[in-house]
Amino acid sequence: MADIAHWSAILVLVLFLLSNATVIIPAQILIPKPLLRLLTSVLVCIRFQSPINPSLKRAYIHLNFITVPLTSVLILLATRAIDGTVVRNGIVGADGVQPLDIMALFMSLAYLSISLDATGLLRFLAFWVARKGGSSGQKLYAYLYIFFLLCGVVVGNDPVILSGTAFLAYFTRVSGITPPTAWIFAQFAAANMASVVLVSSNPTNLVLSGAFSLKFTTYTAHCILPFLAAAILVYPVLVLMLFRSPALIPPSFDLHLDENDGIGATLVDRNGAIFGSILIAATLVILVSTSTVGVPVWEVTVPPAVVMLLRDMYHDWSKYRSTPVRQRSEPLNAAAPLASVESVNGGVIESMELADLSTRSVSPVLTTTPATICSFVSQVRDRVSAIFPTVTTIAKRLPYSLLPFAFLMFILVQALATKGWLELLARWWAAWIRRTGTLGAVGGMGFIACMFCNVCGTNIGATIVLARVIQLWIASSHELDPRTRDGAIYALALGSNYGAFTLTFSASLAGLLWRQILRQKGIRVQSIQFLRLNLPVAFTAMLSSSAVLVGQLYVLYGNQ
């Protein structure tokens, strides 16, 4: 084992912990005005941006889940605590974990899911389910719980959080349910429980499948029954323990959902919904089928995402071309020197070149500004948005921030491994297993995974760390009981998904996204409320799933 007392090993650990702390508690530093003026002057000189008055604006350096890990990696490289090999292994992959393939798979599936959501299908189905609930509050609550479970299995937790949260905010407002606590917490738990079923439903599952070369069918076969046990037993906890008050789940109410306003208008692209549903279903079937023959997963998911992108572009272009010229919402390019602008002067339409605007008397909505990189990029963005609104909307919702965060976490975990920290954790884990066996492997890893989600930079960071620990433990163990080995692996799968609804919002990116959407809708969830309401749910889900997993292992491996 490497010397963990060496300064470089200590520095790696400190920076890793600091990087994770900023995920839980992000901060910002005000840039001093003299420095801001200097930076602004430089940007103006190189024509990056137009002149602005720094005294009217404040600028901050944000210490968050991207800037601090990036700074940490740069510090480790500058001090030679790590070298280029560690960075390369953290990006390209090592020990069965292939970050590039994982991120390509995740982003392509994310595009497919978000594109399907952009058609309005998920909102349409949510309204349809709401109508089926009738006037019974308990029945509707159960229907929506099942609906979010099914959607979470198919498209993953993030699309359910994106669409379902906004739908619930609208639904509870129009139905007079105040506060909407029972409904939003049920949705959050359901989405994150359901994401454990398929490898494609959560990036943590992708990390696990890559680290241990798990076939998609094998993974789902181990996780489906524990998930069902959790889904069944969590529901009574919600309705009988946490949200018994009639004010939270009304016995009855009238929805007044109009066919055109409430339901029909939500499905904005019927053909796209049909096309996207078929494409996602086919992709998932092929993904599961080819996992048994060793085809790289990104080769299965990237082509359908490209097909969906081309379909969305064709849809937008066709709609744009069919719109009369005068009705097109195209931005006015006031800085382009060769564009012409028509103005009405005494009933006579006059045309002028924008290059001559500085010498002509024109209306003050029409002003000239120096051409800069920012203005050029803004003009191109506005032009693209006008022609391809659907593609632009989907692109804005893609989780780009996950890419640098995940790669940086891979690099930092690889640094921990090279300095001996993960090997030390693997030794502690081996000592625990020698005393507790299979039950300790399932219960211990499930508990550790849930807790690590809150302190290791979301569940992605926790999965990366613990997957590497299990790898080292397996490699150093002789004649390892397969029940104990599989118990640790699949308990990590359960814990990394269920850990999203344990202690903090930052236990998952889905939690941070959920809180942000709720705030935008005027709904505030306090940190202590998040912890208090989620702990009983997480405990029930993890305990029931762990019990079923242990039973599965003993049935599968008999008395080995």
- pLDDT for residue 327: 64
Q: What confidence category does residue 264 fall into, taking pLDDT thresholds of 50, 70 and 90?
A: low
Whole-number average pLDDT of the chain: 82
Kindly list the distances between the CA atom of residue 135 and the CA atoms of 48, 122, 187, 386, 453, in Å, as whole numbers in the listed order. Answer: 58, 22, 20, 42, 39
Q: What confidence category does residue 548 fall into, taking pLDDT thresholds of 50, 70 and 90?
A: very high
Q: Is residue 297 part of a domain?
A: yes
The answer to whether 516 and 471 are in contact (CB under 8 A) is: no
Does one domain contain both 74 and 200?
no
How far is residue 496's CA from residue 459's CA, in Å, rounded to a whole number?
A: 5
Q: What confidence category does residue 356 fall into, taking pLDDT thresholds of 50, 70 and 90?
A: very low
- What integer is the mean pLDDT of 147-176? 83
How far is residue 129's CA from residue 132's CA, in Å, rounded to a whole number?
A: 5
Cβ neighbours of residue 68 closer than 8 Å, sequence gap 6 or more? 18, 19, 22
Q: What tokens were used for 536? A: 């009983």
Q: Is residue 364 part of a domain?
A: no
The answer to whether 116 and 280 are in contact (CB under 8 A) is: yes
Does one domain contain both 409 and 309?
no
- pLDDT for residue 105: 79
pLDDT of 301 > 90? The answer is no
Domain that holds residue 426: 402-557
Give the count of domains, the chain.
Answer: 3
- What integer is the mean pLDDT of 278-304? 81
Does one domain contain both 493 and 553?
yes
The answer to whether 534 and 241 are in contact (CB under 8 A) is: no
- What integer is the mean pLDDT of 16-25? 84
Does one domain contain both 73 and 164?
no
Does one domain contain both 310 and 444?
no
Domain boundary among 59, 91, 123: 91
pLDDT of 107 > 70? The answer is yes
Domain boundary among 322, 350, 370: 322
The answer to whether 445 and 466 are in contact (CB under 8 A) is: yes
The alpha-helical segments, DSSP class H, found in 237-353 are 270-290, 297-322
DSSP state of 344: E
pLDDT of 407 > 70? The answer is yes
3-class state of residue 539 by DSSP: helix
